[in-house]
Structure 1
Amino acid sequence: MTRLVAITGATGFAGRHALAELMRRGHQLRALVRSPGAARLPEGVEMVAGGLSDADALQRLVTGADAVVHLAGVLAALDRQGYFSVNFTGTEALAGAALRARVGRFVHISSLAAREPQLSHYAASKNAAEQAVARQGPAFNAVIIRPPAVYGPGDRGTLPLIRELTRPVAAIPGQRAARFSLIHARDLARIIADTIEGTEQGIHEVSDGRPGGYGWEELISTASAFRGARVNALFLPRAVPAMVAAGAEALARITGRPGLVNRGKVAELYHPDWVCREGTLRLADPIRFEQGFAETVAWYREAGWLPRGAAADRSPAH
């Protein structure tokens, strides 16, 4: 069944994958974008100019839509208010517009970080956004999706980690004993599309389905097999990235330009448990990290984000 889907965050990493999957399934797309001329979205996508703080744009976005997919959010801000003004207030405004437009399905893409709101301003803002959606949830058939770390071609967020895993010695800002879930961007896109067509409500944590998630040794083993040589892990004491984060925050206050490195992010990185509690939103054939890692490295190298590897690398790019 073809639906008109209104989407925010379509120009971002996860948003572009979601857009591609929704178009593949034949849905009509209407996207909220700040600059339509620079958005570079696929032909056929209707664009509404504006942001989450623009009430008129939000109403134009959702009017007549069968479903809303909310992916937009801010990953870096100068202070708590900067996170909340977008992640909470923007979500609340979009939910209100969807209610007024009588949208039949609201799919809110949150973050696994929302499970631990005490760790960072980002996590707290995502938790508050979930609560805003949940308060109105039954009225517009809402479902909240919490992905863990999302990786894949086109992602700059996980590029530093992938870069480390291609080196002989990988510097890891995290606990040796930590465990975490992962999900490839294409799989998240498939789950989003499935959810539009489904009836689930409430909060759902999603991943690639690996029981117990991953530990660092498993990622190191995958990277070592890929390189054809052992990757050795160097786990950084928390004080090291904490000092870097403090300096980055000071610079951000001077320049007015926030970066992804901050003390809240360090707290998230050193949290020991980011394993998803699997619910009903599952895929029968998810992309495992072994496949996703090789594909992502190959894409990074083709794009020039990583240098070409040694001949031993088992990369499709060679």
Structure 2
Amino acid sequence: MDQGMKRILIIGGDSFIAGQFIKKYVSTDSITCYSRRPTGYEKEIVVKAFRDMPVEAFSGFDAVINFAAIVHRPEVKDQELYDDVNYRMACLLAQKAKQAGVRQFVQMSTIAVFGSASRISETTPERPQTYYGSSKLKADKELVAMSDREFKAAIIRPPMAYGGGMAPGNMLRLIRLVNKHIPLPFGSARNSRDFINVKNLVEFIHLAVEKEVEGVFYPTDKVPYSTRNVVEEISRQLGVHTINLPSPSIFLKLIEKVRPDLYQKLWGDVVIDRQLALSAIGYEPRYTLEDGIREMVESFKQQK
């Protein structure tokens, strides 16, 4: 094996971000993945339950990256279910990795651990407001506590990822909305939100593995954007004219009261301190909002 080649075990290989990671680094690293659903990757093992992986499955790897999770789903109102997968299972997998002699465990977490905080810095209190955020925070704390001289835990808390084809989430919903050619209420949206192009995210994850770092990290794109910026870029890439109407303050107050989650996602701020986001391991984001939306729009057009 090439001396610079990392031996990486991915758990949750059928997740979107894991797929992007494998696609980029399959030719430069030795990657094995465990998945719940087959993806067609050559070195893939499909299992019913990740928690049943034996300790021996972790042997011989430099790093384990855990992408397996139940993400925030409003219809799932069972804290125990979130805790079982996002907290207890993650810690069990890390314990097995540590027992097998793996030197680094990379846990994909979320900025949802901060709840509705609009500015995130080293002093921002962790106050999750969802079962998802709460379960992730529990795992983060226990994994950090597991770190020692022989075993390093790296917690990665990205904002919403986009790009890479059809990234699931709000960006795809906005593309579908803009494509309907209807007036939209974001003309007065001057909010500021951090996002991350999935290509930037997988490069950050890989750099964290290369440098064998430990601690908590907040990768983002170079600059934040407003919802209006995003809609205008989507319109440009789709080649459509979108009428972006200003929203009356009474309308915004009503949305904030009735659907605070929706208001926060579309009109609220979420900005991560730039020093916290960019200087931690020396990563410089190479891909932009334009790059990511172009990829998504191209995939969207092909699937229409």
Deviations 1:263-287 (A, max 9, x none): 8x54863783322232424544521
Distance in 1, matches of 2:244 and 2:185, equals 10
* CA RMSD after TM alignment: 2.8
Distance in 2, matches of 1:220 and 1:69, equals 33
Runs of 4+ in structure 1 deviating by more than 4 angstroms, as ranges, are 170-173, 233-243, 265-268
Secondary structure class of the residue paired with 2:50? coil
Secondary structure class of the residue paired with 2:113? helix
Distance in 1, matches of 2:138 and 2:185, equals 30
Secondary structure class of the residue paired with 2:129? coil
- Residue 124 of structure 2 corresponds to none
- Is the aligned partner of 1:125 residue 2:156? no
**Structure 1 residues 224-243: aligned runs within 5 Å:** 224-226=235-237, 227-232=239-244, 237=252
Distance in 2, matches of 1:178 and 1:128, equals 30
Q: Which residue of the other structure, out of 149, 161, 165, is the alignment partner of 1:150?
A: 161
Q: Is the 8 A contact 2:192 2:226 kept in 1?
A: yes
Q: Is the 8 A contact 1:168 1:230 kept in 2?
A: yes
Distance in 1, matches of 2:36 and 2:256, equals 33
Percent identity of equivalent pairs? 21
| Distance change in 2, residues 1:73/1:96 (3 Å) | same
Distance in 1, matches of 2:79 and 2:152, equals 30
- Residue 106 of structure 2 corresponds to 107
Distance in 2, matches of 1:48 and 1:60, equals 16
- Residue 13 of structure 2 corresponds to 10
Offset of residue 119 of structure 1: 2.0
- Residue 36 of structure 2 corresponds to 34
Deviations 1:65-98 (A, max 9, x none): 1110111100133321121111111111111111
- Residue 217 of structure 1 corresponds to 228
In terms of mean alpha carbon deviation, does 200-209 or 164-173 score higher?
164-173
**Structure 1 residues 155-304: aligned runs within 5 Å:** 155-158=167-170, 159-169=172-182, 176-210=189-223, 213-226=224-237, 227-232=239-244, 237=252, 266=262, 269=265, 272-277=268-273, 278-279=277-278, 280-281=280-281, 283-304=283-304
- Is the aligned partner of 1:85 residue 2:84? yes
| Distance change in 2, residues 1:122/1:170 (3 Å) | farther
Secondary structure class of the residue paired with 1:92? helix
Distance in 2, matches of 1:163 and 1:176, equals 19
Distance in 2, matches of 1:16 and 1:170, equals 35
Q: Is the 8 A contact 1:11 1:41 kept in 2?
A: no
| Distance change in 2, residues 1:225/1:7 (3 Å) | same
Offset of residue 53 of structure 1: 3.1
Offset of residue 5 of structure 1: 0.9
Deviations 1:158-187 (A, max 9, x none): 3212222344446579x9453211112222
Offset of residue 112 of structure 1: 1.6
- Residue 73 of structure 1 corresponds to 69
Secondary structure class of the residue paired with 1:232? coil
Scaled by the length of structure 1, what TM-score is found?
0.76
| Distance change in 2, residues 1:110/1:300 (3 Å) | same
Offset of residue 289 of structure 1: 0.7
Q: Is the 8 A contact 1:30 1:48 kept in 2?
A: no
Q: Is the 8 A contact 1:64 1:103 kept in 2?
A: yes
Distance in 2, matches of 1:171 and 1:238, equals 17
Distance in 2, matches of 1:267 and 1:135, equals 35
Scaled by the length of structure 2, what TM-score is found?
0.79
Offset of residue 34 of structure 1: 2.5
Deviations 1:217-263 (A, max 9, x none): 222332343335244157675766987x8xxxxxxxxxxxxxxxxx8
Secondary structure class of the residue paired with 1:107? strand
| Distance change in 2, residues 1:53/1:123 (3 Å) | same
In structure 2, give the amino acid aligned to 1:108. Q
Secondary structure class of the residue paired with 1:126? helix
Offset of residue 157 of structure 1: 2.2
